[in-house]
Structure formats: C-alpha cells, structure tokens
Amino acid sequence: MNWLIAIFQTMLFVLLSPLLAGWIKWCKCYLQNRKAPSLLQPYRDLLKLTHKQPVVSEQASWLFVTAPYIIFSATVLAASVVPLIAVNLPTSASADVIVMVGFFAFARFFLALAGLDIGTAFGGMGSSREMTISSLAEPAMLMAIFTLTMTASTTNLSGAIAHVLNDGMVLRPSFVFALFALILVAIAETGRVPVDNPATHLELTMIHEAMILEYSGRHLALIEWASQLKLMLYGVLITNIFFPWGIAEDFTGKALGYGLLAIMGKLALLAVFLAVAETLVAKMRLFRVQEYLSFAYLLGLLGMLSHIILEASR
C-alpha cells in the first residue's frame, strides 16, 4: 500500500510538472502585458513532440540517443525521493537527499556528454557552461541541505520534513539563510533568469538550450519534460522543507487530498514569485554567475555556522 502511494506520488509529480511550467509562463505573460497561452500548452507541446519523427545528426553515437531516457529516468528517480503530498513513504528511505543530488549529477553528466557528442561549437559551449555552473551550485546546495539535515539529524528528506512539522513554527536563523541559499541555487540549477534564460536562443547567452539544440521529436520531449520536472522538484523542495504545513502524515484519502491541495497552492504562490522576479531582473553575464553562486554558498555557510553556534544543543 505504501509503495502504491509512493508510485502514485511520483506519477503525480511527473504529470503535474508541465502544469507548473504552464502556470509560470502564464504569470509571466500576464505581468509583461502579453496574451498568455493556455495553461495546458506545455502538455500539447510534449504530445506534439512525441508524435514527431526525431531527426538525429549523422555524427551522433548511441550515447546521444540513449541520453534522453537516462536523463528523464534519473530525474524521475530524484522526484520519487522528494515528499510531495505525504511524508514517510518508502521511496524516501531507499535514497536520501545526498542520493537525490547524485541523481541530478547523473542526469547532468549525460546531458553534458550529449552536448559534446555531435561535435558542434554550441554543444561544447553549453556543456562547458553547464558543468561550470553546476559545480559551483552543488556545494552551495549541499551546504544549505546540510544545515537542514543537521538540525533534523537525518539526511532522509521525509524524516527531515517530519521533524520540521513536529517542531512547529520556530524561527531559526539557520533556516532563513538556508532558504535563501536554496532559492538562489534552485534558480541557477533550473536555468532561470538571471543565470540562464529558458526562452532564449541567442548563442552568446545560451546554456541549457545550447546543449539540446540538436534534439528533436521524442528525445526533445523527454529532455523538456525532465527540465520541467526538475523545476517543480526544486519548488517542492523549497516549499516542503521550509513550509511543510499541510503535507499528509497518514495515508487516508482525506489527508492526501489536503496534501495535494496544499502543495498546489504553495507551488502556485512560489511560481508567482518566480515570475515576478524573472520580469524584474535582467539576465546577468556568465562570469557574474560565480559571484552569485558564491553568495549562495556563503549564505549556506552562514546558515551552517549559525546552526552550530546558536542552535545546537550544547
């Protein structure tokens, strides 16, 4: 039964992620005085792509063709670890938060290799930049997460969230730092403004898009879906770790329903913030990203130190 709910939750994750992407787009359009596409547009795009015949470069090897499947399934696995509507699910135990970061690294590894596989300048550029940004973002993210796991004294995400729930509303300085660090990292890792612009195809500024330039058809659909999933995953991480209220602690239908409603509400609100931020902030130069990410790292470190100095039991 628990496993069924876990699988159901993962399915929900996968199915809802295009909706979140659509909602962000909708908000952004509204803020920028444009006519918004339907909320379901990302679903239509994905469906259209799966029906198209994929065109693959003559240069491409088996790695290029297999990479989308690997990227997608690694992201789905990462999603299965994160509690969406309920805590204490068995999938959270099979992999903790460090493994989740590992899944992201796995997906990124293959995405970067796929970018290099076709042997164009764009692909190499995208891979190089992606690996640079991620290698700076990963320590910052782990710093923020370690703060949390040390407070909860578990690296199990579900356990950590349950710990925050049981503690009730306590304002911890370390959590404030960690929250901001995680938000900054999430923006960098999901390729949003100001680090990367998902809507651009201008060669000098592309990062994520440069790597997947050669993909088409179902391969592109998988990669797009994986990146939407990743966006939602970071959103869920931020909301459920720092504002977990509403998440189901037992597996009754009612609790799960409330959990679903709560997370959808929280994500919708977070998406509005993201859209406002993306409308207000301009994209920064590539070599400013390091300062941005080292700031995130610093916040994570401050969070960790304030946990150790101010909050730890002795």
* Residues within window 194-213 making contact with other proteins, judged by CB under 8 A: 213
For residue 145, count CB atoms less than 10 angstroms from its CB and return exposed for 0-12, middle for 13-18, buried for 19 or more: buried
Task: Tell me: does residue 57 bind other proteins (CB under 8 A).
Answer: yes
| Least Å from the CB of residue 286 to other proteins | 7
- Scan residues 80-119 and list those touching other proteins (CB under 8 A): 80, 91, 93-96, 98-99, 102-103, 105-106, 108-109, 112-113, 116-119
Between residues 164 and 262, which has the closer beta carbon with respect to other proteins? Answer: 164
Indicate which single residue of 228, 238, 297, 299 sits in contact with other proteins (rule: CB under 8 A).
Answer: 297
Please, which of residues 213-272 interact with other proteins by CB under 8 A? 213-214, 217-218, 221-222
The Cβ of residue 167 has, within 10 Å, a number of other Cβ atoms equal to 11
Residue 21 Cβ vs other proteins, minimum distance, rounded to whole Å: 18
Q: Put residue 52 in one of left, alpha, beta given phi > 0 → left and psi -120 to 50 → alpha.
A: beta
Residues in 60-79 that interact with other proteins by CB under 8 A? 61-63, 65, 69-70, 72-74, 76-77
Q: How far is CA 123 from CA 53, 115, 286, in A?
A: 22, 4, 16
Q: How far is the CB of 31 from other proteins (least distance, A)?
A: 32
Q: Which is nearer to other proteins, 91 or 240 (CB)?
A: 91
The verdict on 171 binding other proteins (CB under 8 A) reads no
Cβ(24)–Cβ(270) below 8 Å = no
Residue 135 in contact with other proteins, rule: CB under 8 A: yes
Sign of CA dihedral 307, 132, 193, 102: negative
Buried b (16+ CB within 10 A) or exposed e, 146-164: bbbbbbbebbbbbbbbbbb
- What is the closest distance, in whole angstroms, from the C-beta atom of residue 194 to other proteins in the complex? 17
Q: For other proteins, how many residues bind (rule: CB under 8 A)?
A: 85
**DSSP classification of residue 281:** S
